[in-house]
Structure 1
Amino acid sequence: MRADLGKDPSQVSAMFDGVAARYDLTNNVLSVGNAPLWRVATTRAVDPKAGEKILDVAAGTGTSSASLARSGASVVAADFSPGMIEVGRQRQAHVPNLVFVEADATDLPFGDDEFDAVTISFGLRNVNDPQQALREFLRVTKPGGRLVVCEFSHPANPLMRTGYDVYQRWIMPSLVRLTSSNDTAYEYLNESIGAWPDQAALAARIRAAGWSEVAYRNLTGGIVALHRGRKPGTPPVE
């Protein structure tokens, strides 16, 4: 099955259940090998440190979570797809400081001021109420804590934008049919990227949710953008 842009949580969750087994392979192929580079950039932006507690929302199979956990930080991988969590627990069973939790980004089952950093990669656009999710991220982050959002965006260069459109329309569907266990789900991928706000608009939404020091930088010419923010307040003395 596939979801639509109404982003009904049950539909989106079921859609990701259906692609979980081959999700990482498909992502690596569709990104033309860029997915690992984007993950490295995101991990560096989060800047995890040993002893910190980090929440990775929409963590999927936990590939990004495992990257964060290599620092020695305690990482919670949250996702609302039971299928993704099941695959993630199997693949990341060797990571001792990583736990998986089934959770809705708009109603997180965590206390106030619990995490040193919250991050989400390629998941915010799949949430039915992104603004509420951003407010929830703020709630569970400690004062002075960090937010990093890695998400598909809009290339600024007209030539790259045209090339990317050609890739999405004509090349990606063929690659999906070769690699994905549910190729119709990836029709939603293209639609959701096209409907997603550009870099400046997303930065404005993050500020509106209460985050300060909001900034962004483009990856791969703006096909992906990294947005960062900080929760106002003084970090607690440990």
Structure 2
Amino acid sequence: MFDEVAAGYDRTNTVLSLGNDQLWRVATTRAVAPRQGQRILDLAAGTGASSVALARSGAEVVAADFSPGMIAEGERRHGAGAPGGGIPNLSFVEADATALPFGDAEFDTVTISFGLRNVNDPKKALAEMLRVTKPGGRLVVCEFSQPPSRTFNGLYRFYNDRVLPIVAKAVSSNADAYDYLNESIKDWPDQRTLATWIREAGWTDVAHRNLSYGIVALHRASKPGAAQPTVG
């Protein structure tokens, strides 16, 4: 499904989110606070839009995704063969979030945006993220959530149930994929539940803040242990 929508994925997301996806990306990048000398894993990276924003800091960024179609599109846009030679400190890897192809304690920060709910075992993925993160390193999760206001939540549900399918049919190459999107958002737990999952995986200093009235929540956490010095 994700392979089929890769080419128009970013444009469709911008339309369906009414442009808010770009604001969410900025908030996530600020939370990650990337800097030169760091190694960052961007999971469920898709075509690499969030990875590019992180790589602009000079950090080494690994964009990983389960979909080979997404990875291929990301490499076409930003890899060595892209116009201008691409981004040298950005690499693409096909990877399963529940069985990451990386060693222990490889990354200063692991981040995942709008992908955790698509993983077949989110709790296992959170444990894998902990494994590949250095002691003292950080986790940043940006994901759809549950607006706390009943009134706003009702309007949000109306948009997702009635408006989103119509718009998706008009702008997406695979409207059925966005029916799945709506269902996955409905079934996803609220902010407090996800925070509990993160703690149970072994992360500490777990906190979150709502974006766009709780349509999205930005979760942050740390791996226990002393932070490792970075080079650069």
Please indicate the TM-score interval, normalised by the length of the shorter structure.
over 0.9
Please report the TM-score for the alignment, with normalisation by the length of structure 2. 0.95
CA distance in 2 between partners of 1:237 and 1:41 (Å): 25
Q: Secondary structure at the match of 2:8?
A: helix
| Matching residue's letter, 2:2 | F
1:160 maps to 152
* Deviations 1:81-140, CA, capped at 9 Å, x for gaps: 000000000111321110000000000000000000000000000000000000000000
Gaps of 5+ in 2: 80-85
Alignment: residue pair count: 224
CA distance in structure 1 between the partners assigned to 2:171 and 2:47 by the alignment: 17
Identify the residue that residue 91 of structure 2 maps to in structure 1: 99
2:192 aligned with 1:206: no
> Which of 128, 140, 165 does residue 132 from structure 2 map onto?
140
Amino acid across the alignment from 1:33: G
Please give the alpha-carbon distance, in whole angstroms, between the structure 2 residues aligned to 1:176 and 1:187: 9
Task: Write the distance in 2 (CA, Å) between the matches of 1:150 and 1:77.
Answer: 15
The one-letter code sitting in structure 2 at the alignment partner of 1:149 is V
**For residue 196 of structure 1, what is the amino acid of its counterpart?**
W
**Aligned residue identity for 2:72:** E
Supply the AA of the counterpart residue of 2:143. Answer: E
- Distance apart, 1:237 and its partner CA: 3.8
In structure 2, C-alpha distance between the alignment counterparts of 1:138 and 1:206, rounded to whole Å: 10
What do the CA deviations read for 1:12-56 (whole angstroms, capped 9, x no partner)? xxx100110110011000100100000000000001011100000
Give the corresponding residue for 2:83: none
Residue of structure 1 in register with 2:41 after alignment:
55
Which residue of 2 is the match for residue 78 of structure 1? Answer: 64
**Cross-structure match for 1:34:** 20
- Measure, in 1, the Cα distance between the counterparts of 2:169 and 2:228: 50
Residue 16 of structure 2 corresponds to residue 24 of structure 1: no
- The CA RMSD over aligned residues, in Å, is 0.7
Q: Which runs of 4+ in 1 moved over 4 A?
A: none
CA distances 1:60-86 after superposition (whole Å, capped 9, x unpaired)? 000000000000000000001000000
Q: Is it true that 1:186 corresponds to 2:178 in the alignment? A: yes
Residue identity matched to 1:175: V
One-letter code aligned to 1:198: D
**Counterparts of 1:114-125 in structure 2 under 5 Å?**
114-125=106-117
What CA distance in whole angstroms lies between the structure 1 residues aligned with 2:11 and 2:166? 15
Alignment identity in percent?
A: 66
The amino acid of 1:26's aligned partner reads: T
Gaps of 5+ in 1: 1-14
CA shift at 1:159, angstroms?
A: 1.3
Distance 2:77 2:193 in 1: 36
